[in-house]
Amino acid sequence: MITLGIESSCDETSAAILKDGKVLAALTHTQDEHALYGGVVPEVASRAHLEKIDGLVRRVLDDCCLSPNKIDLIAVTDSPGLAGALLVGVSFALGMHAAYGIPVTGVNHLEGHICSLFIDRQDDVVPPFLVLLASGGHTAVYKYLSSGNCELLGHTVDDAAGEAFDKVGKLLGFPYPAGRMIEAEAAKFAVGKSSSSPKNKITFPIARFTSPEKSLCFSFSGLKTAVKNFISENSIDYIKDNRPALCDAFQRTVVKSLAGNLEDAAKLTGINTVAAAGGVACNGYLRDELKKRFGADNVIVPPPHFCTDNGAMIAMAGYMMYNSNRTRFPSMDPGRGI
Ligand code: KG4
Ligand code: ZN
- Give tens-digit pLDDT for 166-184: 999 999 999 999 999 999 9
- Is ligand 1 within 6 A of the CB of residue 301? no
Mean pLDDT of 141-163: 97
336 by Cβ neighbours in 10 Å (0-12 / 13-18 / 19+) ranks as middle
Please state the atom number of ligand 1 nearest to the C-alpha of residue 166.
Answer: 14
Measured from the CB, is residue 283 less than 6 Å from ligand 1? yes
At 334 the pLDDT is 84
Kindly report, residue by residue over 240-252, the tens digit of the pLDDT.
Answer: 999 999 999 999 9
Cα–ligand 2 centroid distance for 2 (angstroms): 23
Q: Residue 204 has what pLDDT?
A: 97
- Give yes or no for a contact between 304 and 10, defined as CB atoms under 8 angstroms apart: no
- Delineate the domains of the chain, giving CATH numbers in brackets: 2-117+306-323 (3.30.420.40), 126-301 (3.30.420.40)
pLDDT per residue as tens digits for the range 297-337: 999 999 999 999 999 999 999 999 999 999 999 998 888 87
Return the CA Rg of the chain.
Answer: 20
- The C-alpha angle with vertex 335 and arms to 106 and 97, in degrees rounded to 5, equals 20
Q: Strand 129-134's sheet: what is its strand order? A: 149-155, 139-146, 129-134, 274-277, 299-300
Q: H or E element: which one contains 241?
A: helix 236-241
> What is the value of pTM for the model shown?
0.95
Contact 4, 17 (CB under 8 A): yes
Q: Which amino acid is at 140?
A: A
105 lines ligand 1 (CB under 6 A): no
68 has pLDDT over 60: yes
Alpha-carbon distance of 131 to 301, in angstroms, equals: 10
CB within 5 A of ion ligand 2: which residues? Answer: 135, 309
CB of 112 within 6 A of ligand 1: the answer is: no
- The per-residue pLDDT for range 252-261, each reduced to its tens digit, is 999 999 999 9
Tens of pLDDT along 189-208? 977 655 555 655 799 999 98
